[in-house]
Amino acid sequence: MFLLININKYDTDVLIIGGGLAGISAAMEAASVGVQVTMVVADKLFSGSSFSPYTWGLGIVAPFDELDKKDFVENIYRVGCGLVYKELSYIIVDNIETRIRELEDLGINFKTPQNIMGDETLIPCFDNKHRKWFGFTFEHSKQIFFEKMKELNINILEHQKIVKLFTNKEVFTGALGINENNQFIFFNASSVVIATGGFGGLYKHNLNTEDINGEGLILALSAGCELVNLEFLQFIPGYLKPKYKTIFAETAFKYATLEDAYGNCILEKYFPEGINKKEIMAERSTHGPFSSRMNSKYVDIALFKESLRNPELQGAKVKYDISISNSEGFLIKEYFEWLNQSRGIRYNEEIIITTFAHAANGGIRINKNAETTVKGIYAAGEVTGGMHGADRIGGLSTANALVFGKMAGQNAALFAKNKRSHINESIIKHEIFSYIKSIKIPKFEPNLVLRKIKELMWENGNVVRNAKQLNYAIKQVKELEKDFDREIDSFNEINFINIIKAKNYIDLSLILLTTMLLREESRGSHYREDYPNQRDEFNKFIIVSQNENGVVKYNMESLNNKI
C-alpha cells in the first residue's frame, strides 16, 4: 500500500518554516549570504502574530544609549522573575535599533511619537521607564518585504506544512512536508530555521491566526531539540462582541467598568477585602497581559471566573467613561481610531470581553547564535524561549523576531555552505515511510479532537490554574489520545494534515499542562490558585526534552546568568 505513495523531492540549501517577521528576517539574511532559500508557510506569507488582523500594529522598544542597555537587561530579568537567559536578552537589546535602521533603509517607515517622555501610555508593558518606541505598521511593509524577497530569489511555498524533521547522529538531514493536495514532499536541505510562532491556537479563545498553534515545538522536540518556559503564556483581554477576536487595549482599563448581564460591576465579588477598585483599574491600564506579580491580577481573575460562571454572556460587559473620548494618550487615540476604521467599532457600543490566549514567553531553547541543541536546526521568534521569562516587557516579542530572525538566517546559511547536504536516499526513504506508517487515525473526526483540546486548555490552563483542574485536563487529553488507534488501510481516505495536527495538539497540550502542574508556585503569567506566591525552590527552568523512544522528559535546571 505504501509503495503507491508518491513522494516528491525538493532541493534547497536553507529551509525556513514560517511566514512572519522572524521567518522573513531569516530568509532575507540567508539569501543575502548567497545560498538557495526556500520558505514553507502553512497558510500564506505575512502570517502569524507579526501580521495579525486582530490588532492595529506592533510596538518595538529599544534602549536610549549604552547606559540604558544595562538597565534594560536588568529590567527584563526583573520582569521575567529571574527565569531569563541574560545573554539572549542582551543580544536583543544590543541589536534591535540596528535592525530597525536596516528596515528603514529598505523603505519601511516606523511611527515615532514626538512627545514620548510625556506620554505614560508609551511606557512599555511591565517596564518602569520610557524607552525608544517604534510603531511597526505591517500593511505598509508587506510590499517592500515581498519585492526584496523576490530580488533575492527566495522560493516561497504557501499552504504547505512541514510535518517531520529528520536527523542523523544529532545533525539535521532534511524535512518532510505535505501540501493542501495531500501530497508529500521531501525537502533536501542542509539547515532549517523554525519560525512558526507561539501556541495560542491551542486555546478556544485566542488572538492568533490559525497557523499559530505550537506545531513547530513538536517538530523541534521530536527532532531532539529542548523546550523551555512553556508554562509562561500571555493572556490578554479580547472582544467576544461586537466583533470576535479583537484585541482590547489595556490603556483603556482606567476608563472602564466591567459588568455582568444585569449591569452589576463584577469586580467586588472577586476582589479581596481592602483592594481599591479605582487604583487597581489604573494599575491594570499599564500592561496588556495578565501577571500574577501585581494586584491588577484580580481584574483578569474576575473576568475569567465570571466568563465561566455565566455561560450565556461568556464574559463581561465593558462600559467606558465618557472622558475616554478626551484622552491625550497616543496609544489610546491610535487604538480607538483603528477600532473604528478597521473593525467598525465605537467605544460606546455594547462590548463583551473575556481572557484570550495571546503570546508565548517560552518555546525552543536556543543559544546566542540561534542554534538549538541539534546541529543544523535553528529557531527564531515567538517559537523560542529563554530571552524573556515569566513576564515579558512590551515590544520585545517583535524585537526578538527581528534580531534572532536575522541571526538564525545568517548562521543557517553559513552552516549550509560548510556542510552541503549529502543524503543517503535509501535511509531517508525508509525513515519517511516509517513515519507515515506510524501515523494513527482517531475514531472521531480530527476537528472534534481539536475543539475538545481548545476547550480543555481554555477552561483549565487559563489565567487561573490549580492541581485539580490541571489533572482533570491531563486525564481528558489522555482519553482523547487513546482514540488514535487505527492504522492506515487506505491512503486515499486520509487527510494527513488534520490528523497530524490533532495528534500534535494532544502531544503539546499534555506537555503544557504538565509544566503548569510541575510549577507549584505563582510567577509572572503563571498563576496557581493553590500556590498563590512565588517560591525560591522554583527559581529553576523547566526543560522539556524527548528521548530516542519518544518519551517526554521534564528536568529542573538551576539559573546561570553570566553574560
Three-state DSSP string of 185-253: EEEECCEEEECCCCCHHHCCCECCCCCCCCHHHHHHHHCCCCEECCCCEEEEEEEEECCCCEECCHHHH
**Nearest-angstrom CA–CA distance, 96 and 61:** 8
The H or E element that residue 500 is part of is helix 496-518
Q: Are 515 and 227 in contact (CB under 8 A)?
A: no
* Identity of residue 2: F
The pLDDT of residue 328 is: 62
State the CB neighbour count (10 A cutoff) for residue 420: 9
Supply the pLDDT for residue 561: 62
Q: Cell 479581596 appears where? A: 272
Domain check: are 352 and 444 in the same one?
no
Inside any domain, residue 185: no
Q: In the structure grid, which three cell numbers stand for residue 398, read together?
A: 517583535
Rounded CA-CA distance 113/122 in Å is 9
Q: H or E segment at 32?
A: helix 21-32
What is the distance of C-alpha 562 from the center of its chain? 27
Q: How far apart are CA 383 and CA 381, in angstroms?
A: 5
Place of cell 476582589: 271
My answer on whether omega of the bond before 242 falls inside 30° of 0, hence cis, is yes
Partnered with residue 417 across adjacent β-strands are none
Write down which residue in 295, 327, 358 finishes a domain: 358
Question: Where are the alpha helices (H) located in 266-322, listed in sequence order?
Answer: 277-284, 297-309
Q: Three cell numbers at 379?
A: 529557531
Q: How far is CA 18 from the centre of its chain?
A: 12
Q: What is the number of other CB atoms lying within 10 angstroms of the CB of residue 304?
A: 24
- The three grid cell numbers given for residue 282, joined into one nine-digit string: 489604573
Instruction: Round to whole Å and give the CA distance between 384 and 482.
Output: 30
- The strands making up 233-241's β-sheet, listed across from edge to edge, are 246-247, 233-241, 351-360, 316-320, 256-259
Is residue 331 within 8 A of residue 249, CB to CB? The reply is yes
CA proximity to 40, closest of 156, 148, 153, 147:
156
Other Cβ atoms within 10 Å of 104 Cβ, number: 12
Integer Cα distance of 188 and 165 in angstroms: 11
Domain that holds residue 267: 233-358
Yes or no: say if 404 and 363 are a contact pair by the CB < 8 Å rule. no
Q: What is the pLDDT of residue 167?
A: 93
Q: Domain boundary at 358, 382, 408, which?
A: 358
Q: Which of 337, 282, 347, 340 lies closest to 111 in space, CA to CA?
A: 337
Residue 73 in domain: no
464 lies in a domain? yes
The residue from 320, 339, 358 where one domain ends is: 358
- Residue 524 belongs to a domain with what CATH number? 1.20.58.100
**Would 157 be classed as within a structural domain?**
no
Q: Which amino acid is at 69?
A: K
User: CA-CA distance, 318 to 107, in Å (whole number)?
Assistant: 40
Q: How many CB atoms lie within 10 A of CB 493?
A: 8
Beta-ladder partners of 375: 171
Burial class (CB in 10 A: 0-12, 13-18, 19+), 562: exposed
Is the separation of the CB atoms in 324 and 346 below 8 Å? no
Residue type, 373: T
Question: Per the domain annotation, does 112 fall within a domain?
Answer: no
Q: Would you say residue 203 lies in a domain?
A: no
Per-block average pLDDT, block size 10, for the chain (563 residues)?
68 96 98 97 89 78 95 97 97 97 95 74 89 85 96 97 92 94 93 97 94 96 97 97 92 90 91 90 94 97 95 92 70 81 84 96 98 98 97 95 98 92 74 88 92 98 98 98 83 81 97 98 98 97 94 91 55
Distance of CA 309 to the CA centre of its chain: 28
CATH number at residue 324: 3.90.700
Looking at residue 368, what DSSP letter applies? T
Residues 556 and 541 sit within 8 Å (Cβ to Cβ): yes
Q: What is the pLDDT of residue 468?
A: 98
**Ramachandran class of 521: left when φ > 0, alpha when ψ lies in -120 to 50, beta otherwise:** beta
The count of structural domains within the chain is 2
Query: Do 452 and 548 belong together in one domain?
Result: yes
The grid coordinates listed for 134 are: 517604534
Q: What is the pLDDT of residue 235?
A: 98
Q: Whole-angstrom Cα distance, residue 441 to residue 84? A: 40
pTM above threshold 0.75: yes
* 13 found inside a domain: no
SS3 content of the chain, % helix, strand, coil (to 5): 40, 20, 35
Q: 436 and 2 in contact (C-beta within 8 Å)?
A: yes
Which one-letter amino acid corresponds to residue 83? L
Indicate whether 287 belongs to any domain: yes
Q: How many helices (H) and strands (E) does the chain have?
A: 13, 24
Query: Cα–Cα distance between 425 and 224 in angstroms, integer?
Result: 21
**Nearest-5° angle of CA 492, CA 497, CA 503?**
115
Distance in angstroms (rounded) separating the CA atoms of residues 551 and 493: 30
User: How far is it, in rounded angstroms, from Cα 383 to Cα 169?
Assistant: 24
Four-residue CA torsion sign, 122, 298, 357, 262: negative
Which cell is 517 given? 502542574
